[in-house]
Amino acid sequence: MPTPETNLNEPHDESPPALFRSWSQMYAFVLILHAIIITLFYIFTKTYS
């Protein structure tokens, strides 16, 4: 288990991501977009096969 002294030397970046207020919102957006793209590829495959 790391000690508090070892964590002091590591950079700690708390800046928010671009276009979102928090990192969890960005992660949710990426997961939702991923699901949409997979669904669209599935529909295209079924339609044109």
Task: Read off the pLDDT of residues 18-35 as tens digits, 9 standing for 90 and up.
Answer: 889 999 999 999 999 999
Expressed in angstroms, the distance from the first to the final Cα of the chain is: 54
Q: Largest Cα–Cα distance in the chain?
A: 60
Q: Return d(Cα 25, Cα 19) in angstroms, integer.
A: 10
Task: State the average pLDDT over residues 27-46.
Answer: 98
Residue reference for tokens 């928010």: 16
pLDDT at residue 8, as a whole number: 61
Report residue 14 as tokens.
């708390």
Chain-centre distance for alpha carbon 26: 5
Q: How confident is residue 45, by pLDDT bands cut at 50, 70 and 90? A: very high
Global confidence as pTM: 0.65
* Residue 46: pLDDT over 80: yes
